[in-house]
Amino acid sequence: MSNNSVLYVYDGFNNPGDAFSYCGTRHYVNAAGVACEHSVRLRDTRDLPSRLDLSGPDLVVFAGAPWLWEGCVRSEKYAAAYALLKSCAGAGKIAVGVGSCFLAAHTLPVLAAAVDRDRRELSEFWGLFDRVIVRDVLAWWILDRAGVKASLAVCPSVAVGEWYGRLKPAGGKAILSEPLESNFIYRYIPEADREFYSAACSRLRAGGAPEVEWVTRDRAALASRSVKSMSRAIEETGASEFFTARVHAALVAAGLGLKGELQALDSRSLSARLYGIKLVGPQAGAFEEIAEAAGRNAPPPEDTGRVLADGLKELV
Question: pLDDT digit string (tens) for 40-73?
Answer: 666 555 555 444 544 567 888 888 765 899 999 9
What range does the domain containing 120 cover?
5-157+298-315
Residues 27 and 136 placed together within one structural domain of the fold: yes
Q: pTM for this one?
A: 0.91
Runs of H (alpha helix) within the chain: 16-31, 48-51, 76-87, 108-117, 119-126, 137-145, 160-163, 191-206, 219-223, 227-237, 247-255, 269-273, 284-294, 304-315
Residues 168 and 127 placed together within one structural domain of the fold: no
pLDDT > 70 in the chain, percent: 84
Residues 120 and 166 placed together within one structural domain of the fold: no
Residues 73 and 175 placed together within one structural domain of the fold: no
User: For the segment 267-307, what is each residue's pLDDT rounded down to a tens digit?
Assistant: 999 999 999 999 999 999 999 999 999 999 999 999 999 99
> Cα(304)–Cα(24) distance, rounded to whole angstroms?
10
Residues 28 and 101 placed together within one structural domain of the fold: yes
Query: 2 pLDDT exceeds 70?
Result: no
Residues 26 and 106 placed together within one structural domain of the fold: yes
User: For the segment 104-136, what is each residue's pLDDT rounded down to a tens digit?
Assistant: 999 999 999 999 999 999 999 999 999 999 999
Average per-residue pLDDT for the chain: 86
71-80 contacts, C-beta under 8 A, 24 or more apart: 73/118, 73/121, 73/122, 73/125, 74/121, 77/10, 77/11, 77/42, 78/121, 78/125, 80/42, 80/43, 80/45
Which of 65, 67, 92, 85 lies closest to 156, judged by CA?
Answer: 65
Residues 195 and 133 placed together within one structural domain of the fold: no
Residues 209 and 110 placed together within one structural domain of the fold: no
Residues 40 and 83 placed together within one structural domain of the fold: yes
Residues 86 and 65 placed together within one structural domain of the fold: yes
Residues 150 and 224 placed together within one structural domain of the fold: no
Residues 287 and 248 placed together within one structural domain of the fold: yes
CATH number of the domain bearing residue 238: 3.40.50
The distance in angstroms from the start CA to the end CA of the chain is 6
User: Per-residue confidence at 221, pLDDT binned at 50, 70, 90?
Assistant: very low
Please count the structural domains in the chain: 2
User: Per-residue confidence at 314, pLDDT binned at 50, 70, 90?
Assistant: confident
